[in-house]
Structure 1
Amino acid sequence: MSGQLVSENPWQRRLRTPWRGLGLWFLGIPATFVGLWFITVVSMVTSFVGILLFPSATMLLRRRLDRYREKIGRWTGHRIERPYLPQPDHEPGFQGVMRRFIALICDPATWRDYLWVVADPFVALFTAALPSVLIGYGVWGYLLAGFAGKLIGDHGGNDWYAYIHVHHGYGDDPAQLVLTAATGTLFIAAGFLIGPKMLDVYGRWGQAILGPTEKSRLALRVRHLTETRSDAVDASAAELRRIERDLHDGAQARLVAMGMTLGAIEHLLDRDPEKARLLLAQTRESSAQALHELRDLVRGIHPPVLADRGVVDAVKALALDHPLKTEVTGDLPARPEPPVESAAYFAVSEILTNAAKHSGASRVWVDLRHERGMLRVTVTDDGHGGASLENGTGLRGIERRIGTFDGVLALNSPVGGPTIVTLELPCALSSPKTSPS
């Protein structure tokens, strides 16, 4: 269910669904004209002009039906994914035009889109729009009972309403007028009663025709896995370069300097013991600094508290060192798998760093939950807002990193705040929960 439907109570939804169904039927009118243009272009594919026009006509139809998918998902609660197979890379010249034409004309979703624009006006009329038609017919019964029945009958028109002849005995038989009004009331009530069910049926019809087939779903899945694998390889390579750089510039340099200092101490032991003692003190201090840098490096690879206590306690430890006042809540009945814990931990770490640098916030709240097979992490700050996935690489990097686990990132950051970042990672809770001793 979409968030909008969840927020409505049953009576609100029952009152709104007839008009939403009518709105979906009216949306089919421009789609029908687009479908007529599409089939006109199809009729010309035996010529080069048709081949040139086919991609633009197909894209026009897809953009129109993308709006349909969004509306159906919002008003019926049935989310519809885009079903289209990946298109070949753009290539100039005749070969590129033909490759794109063949890819589009061989995509089953192209013809399912056309089936939709042909059949939907009739399907929508007897599903989504039917409740509003019944309500309109009920209102027409009131008008006939009030004045229209006599007016139509006096001018020789059809003055029947359902099974009732509303003109005969008009004014002499009030029971007939009451029966007409009662029948109209039944039609209106029926329209509101069946509205949610009809809209649900229409949503299922939309999923069946406008959603992906198994072939396209598999192709989209392969493309997603290819992209996330590439992102995972790039992230691993970048992490290895960072570790190598930190070792080379930090601990390794200190260890080399310590070796040289120890060599100098060997020569000074007999000639200048006092200077050798001073150099030994400096070497001991350098060894402590090298050990501290190695511990920081290990903590950056996989913090010991994360391995020992789990992601909730690790994030709490992270919050203790954060410059902003950070409140962490979470109650996981067991531990996620280690790779998922690590991805969630470093994602939260990056978000907290961004909040401290850019948000202007004074407080941050972190919540960790496991719901419906998902590890859900929500980070909220009271800053000035205005964050965007397009304007920076930090959140995009997090999105790519959790995408390796089929995770998703949602951002809500209106100007003026607050900023809410929500992460969802599919996972099973397998390891026993570690309790503090």
Structure 2
Amino acid sequence: MADAASRLTTLAEDLLGVALPVRIRAWDGSEAGPPDSPVFVLRSRRALRRLLWKPGELGLARAWVAGELEVEGDLYEALDRIATLIWERGADAKDRVPFVRDPALRAAGRELVKIAGPWPPPPPPAEEVRRRTGPLHTKRRDKEAISHHYDVGNDFYALVLGPSMVYSCAYWTEGSTLEEAQRDKLDLICRKLALKEGDRLLDVGCGWGSMAIHAAREYGARVVGVTLSAEQAAFARKRIADEGLTDRIEIRVQDYRDVSDGPYDAISSIGMAEHVGAVRYRDYADDLYALLKPGGRLLNHQISRRPEPDETAYRIDEFIDRYVFPDGELAPVGRTTATLEDAGFEVRDVEAIREHYALTLRQWVANLETHWAEAKRLTSPGRARVWRLYMAASAVSFERNRIGVNQVLAVKTPEDGHSGVPLRPRVWSERADG
């Protein structure tokens, strides 16, 4: 058809009831929409079929991952402009595509279907996780989910994360580099945990060993790190050997639910609790509480979401669930702290660092884009595209306050009530030795 972009824009605006905030370029080379905005390039009718079949984020993601949809211009601005269309018009697809209810708009819907071409839509890109069955958050299912996300390849993660190999929110100051901000985050956690020479630290979800190495090298701690990823464990063990710290650090491929060699003086859980799930979170809190000695501290560093007016309406993000973190769940920070206290912890400090994660993600995206050809070679073009979209969209979500991240310090306070936490709880913001 001639001038597909104008026709698509008009039909989409009729259906959505709002002006499209981005420019469209269709497969015939035609363009329509605001002239000074990012351009969504539909390379084929297949992209349109995906968007019609799964309106919202999943259809958009499938077209993006398959390379049928591109963005020209600032990707962050493009995602920010369409945020209200994908995230903030309701979780139900019928709220975004009203022609399924409104007879006056059915003709526009039929016209879009006609333009898109023959049904059914193309199969999902190969990178998509198939629907899982069985109970959520069993040990087997969690191990499979972790493998999907973390066993992409250590070389790929090194391109994205940089030398620090820390895959969680950094702690920024003006002018700091990513490596400096990640070091400062690890050091802040060690100070909040009041680590000292000889303390036993359990690092739950230890990743590539960065927290374990920092705690052992800088504070003299004896560390056990557990992960479900064999690739992470192998990488961490080599780093630890290269640092000469094998006498202080043990890395296990082990579920945190199987750790039984407490008590520990401190536990760090950094970017791991998002995998636990609502049905297991109280068990998680109980297990960590049991592993601590009286007076021991837990630092729980976890992404949160905004509370829903009706919590029963909460749905896991489809794109994240299908392509990035299968079975991952976010909870409001209030629910997290309440569950920790129900398990017996005394919550002593909550630090919200939402803006820090947006800065971290933008740096990871920059690393990925700098090494784009290598990233595609190490994984696949589709997988590299998944990561670029996931990290850029997550940065926008943090910036828009759709999600946050918090460090919760909790203490297994002894019966005598002496928590050991300083009277002025933020003294850990600077090390005593300067």
Bucket of the pairwise TM-score, normalised by the shorter protein: under 0.3
Q: TM-score, normalised by structure 1?
A: 0.25
Higher Cα radius of gyration: 1
Which is richer in helix? 1
- More relative contact order, 1 or 2 (CA 8 Å, 6+ apart): 2
Which is richer in strand? 2
Q: TM-score, normalised by structure 2?
A: 0.25
